[in-house]
């Protein structure tokens, strides 16, 4: 018996969200003395294999071949289910990313099994029962639940779980895995991918500079952009700003936008509606610049500056430039 975790990786290595999912899956396995195994699509680099060992993965099953040359959610789900059956997995876990949730939902539909999303703690109680804690309302509410399943399908609220390496790294044995995939399983697949302008992606950014209605206009974002660039970070915005058409929705932080996990969220002129706070709850440090000392964001922040961002941000940009 084992706990099987889907690992997403790219040229830069294993994704941060997957490291968090691995930490969750390892604890689930520890609760019942089961080993942690992983599946990835495409060959894993030596470095990635080493990182997986640091997270306690005993066996890695890379999947390759024509059906996996571009992302096809049904093919990924079938591969996971076939591997889960072959390894008698008691749980299949993926990060709650767009892909992770999508693949696991297909796995649930194909197998008829229950799929539980947004989990952040799981303990196996017995052969047929898992105790789960998961987010509802994007983390504003916590649900404790009992899942009756010999094979649990779970996705991980990655902003509710830290990436923690194990104190006892494992030696990873690599077993290429060739699942049975039909033509129909790749009928829906990525036909092509278009990279957008280079820059730090919001979901992965270590620093995010946020701008809200307080920025005042689309043009006002020039200073926010400049500050983000100086800090090597990305721009994030509130829902008000995308609704006003000042910035594209791809920059929206929140429940219906991107959920960010930066070390620093420097948030300017955003009052902090629940929908927004749901997207930044795991930011390590929050620094707020706001005219209203009673805004909800000030309650969420670790540090605050009270005042007009349109004066403070340009002054901060000048001060950073003057340093160098």
Q: Does 162 bind another protein (CB under 8 A)?
A: no
Q: Does 257 bind another protein (CB under 8 A)?
A: yes
Cβ nearer to another protein, comparing 175 with 311: 311
CA gap 233, 174 in Å, rounded: 36
Cα separations (Å) of 229 from 225, 233, 308, 317?
6, 6, 21, 10
Q: Find out whether 80 and 8 touch, Cβ atoms under 8 Å.
A: no
- List 37, 115, 122, 186, residue binding another protein (CB under 8 A): 115
Q: Does 311 bind another protein (CB under 8 A)?
A: yes
The DSSP call for residue 177 is B
How many residues make contact with another protein (CB under 8 A)? Answer: 96
Cβ nearer to another protein, comparing 86 with 187: 187
Q: Does 125 bind another protein (CB under 8 A)?
A: no
Cβ nearer to another protein, comparing 162 with 175: 162
Q: Find out whether 18 and 7 touch, Cβ atoms under 8 Å.
A: yes
What phi and psi, each to the nearest 5 degrees, are found at residue 248? -70, 155
Name which of residues 179 to 238 contact another protein (CB under 8 A). 187-196, 199, 201-204, 206-207, 231-233
Q: Tell the smallest beta-carbon distance from residue 34 to another protein (Å).
A: 20
Q: Find out whether 255 and 275 touch, Cβ atoms under 8 Å.
A: yes
- List 1, 165, 174, 305, residue binding another protein (CB under 8 A): 305
Cβ nearer to another protein, comparing 144 with 183: 144
- List 45, 65, 123, 142, residue binding another protein (CB under 8 A): 142
Cα separations (Å) of 20 from 1, 152, 212, 265?
22, 18, 29, 20
Q: Find out whether 163 and 20 touch, Cβ atoms under 8 Å.
A: yes
């Amino acid at each position: 018996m084992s706990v099987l975790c889907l690992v997403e990786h790219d040229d830069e290595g294993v994704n941060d969200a997957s490291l968090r999912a691995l930490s969750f899956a390892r604890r689930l396995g520890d609760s019942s003395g089961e080993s942690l195994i992983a599946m990835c699509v495409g060959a894993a680099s030596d470095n990635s294999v080493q990182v997986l060992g640091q997270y306690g993965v005993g066996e890695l099953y890379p999947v390759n071949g024509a059906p996996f040359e571009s992302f096809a959610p049904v093919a990924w789900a079938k591969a996971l289910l076939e591997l889960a059956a072959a390894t008698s997995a008691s749980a299949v876990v993926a990060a709650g990313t767009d892909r992770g949730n999508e693949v696991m939902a297909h796995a649930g539909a194909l197998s008829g099994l229950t799929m539980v999303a947004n989990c952040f703690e799981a303990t196996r109680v017995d052969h047929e029962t898992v105790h789960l804690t998961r987010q509802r309302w994007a983390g504003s509410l916590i649900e404790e639940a009992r899942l009756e399943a010999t094979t649990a399908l779970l996705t991980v609220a990655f902003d509710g779980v830290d990436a923690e390496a194990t104190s006892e790294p494992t030696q990873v044995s690599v077993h290429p895995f060739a699942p049975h995939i039909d033509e129909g399983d790749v009928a829906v697949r990525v036909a092509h991918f278009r990279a957008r302008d280079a820059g730090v992606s919001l979901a992965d950014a270590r620093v995010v500079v946020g701008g809200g209605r307080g920025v005042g206009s689309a043009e006002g974002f020039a200073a926010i952009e400049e500050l983000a660039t100086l800090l090597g970070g990305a721009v994030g915005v509130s829902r008000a700003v995308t609704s006003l058409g000042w910035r594209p929705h791809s920059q929206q932080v929140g429940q219906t936008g991107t959920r960010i996990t930066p070390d620093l969220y420097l948030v300017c002129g955003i009052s902090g509606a629940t929908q927004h706070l749901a997207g930044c709850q795991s930011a390590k440090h929050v620094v707020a610049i706001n005219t209203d000392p009673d805004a909800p964001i000030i309650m969420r922040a670790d540090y605050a500056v009270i005042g007009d961002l349109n004066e403070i941000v340009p002054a901060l940009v000048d001060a950073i430039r003057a340093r160098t």
